[in-house]
Structure 1
Amino acid sequence: MQRLKILHDEMLTGGISFCFTGYMSEEVVLGIGKALRKKFAIDELDKRTSMGMFSIFVEMVQNVVRYSAENRTDDLDPVIIDLRYGVLSIGQQDGRYFVACGNLIEEAHVPRLRDSLTHIKSLDKDGLKKLFRKSLQREVPEG
């Protein structure tokens, strides 16, 4: 119990108001989404910030559900991966909101992901908008 209290205090100190770690599925994501919408409404978050935070949450958690290397399959159909493991935190620090999400990936996908992230980091605001629009037209990459 003491460890849980320490974790709770650390999250509050870090400005984290919502945290989830564990196996995620579409159903879990829907439940978290409902809770976040309710929290944003209770906090009277302006519509633009609320929509932006929610969009980022959806995109990041979809990445966990699609790509996490830590997964569990259905015993009846081992080809279907039912659950993917990840970590999600949402909060506010220094007057700014944040969404942080993470998961392990397969080693084979590291070079492609590193190249993609290096490219994204090099873009300005307009470049990011163009890349985002382009990504909406592409199929979801494997891994």
Structure 2
Amino acid sequence: MVLSDEEKRLRHLQAMRKYQKKRLATDPKFKEKQYLANSTLQKKRFEPDGVNGKIKAKVFAHYSKVVSNNDIPVCACCGYSDIRFLSVDHIDGRKNLSVKEKKLNSHYLWKYLIKTGLPSGYQILCHNCNIAKGQEKYCPHQLDKMK
């Protein structure tokens, strides 16, 4: 009997659930150990030297070159440069994006941008400018520049 990919996936899930129930019954600290192991992995993924940290740095450096003419990521509006508070912004807003693009967030968006060749239509903004732009349709820094 040949199983389809979906049937294989379901059997694997059932086997995993059965194993986890058995482990929980025999080892009360199993869940805690799993949580600690996975939380450590998650933290490493987002460290600057981790996989997602390198992807983020590459994307941010590319889109920041327009503003700063170097690889240091900066906000396109106010020039803020702490990478922890920077994010990718859709210049034309989310309404013009495909359904797939609307569902992407953080590292999924970074991977998508690299996969599609770092297309135009995106910029790097600090969290304050990004939120202001989303709520007010413009950033207070742009208002100061218009005066």
TM-score (norm: length of structure 2):
0.23
Which structure is higher in RCO with an 8 Å CA cutoff and minimum separation 6?
Answer: 1
**Bigger Rg, structure 1 or 2:** 2
TM-score (norm: length of structure 1):
0.23
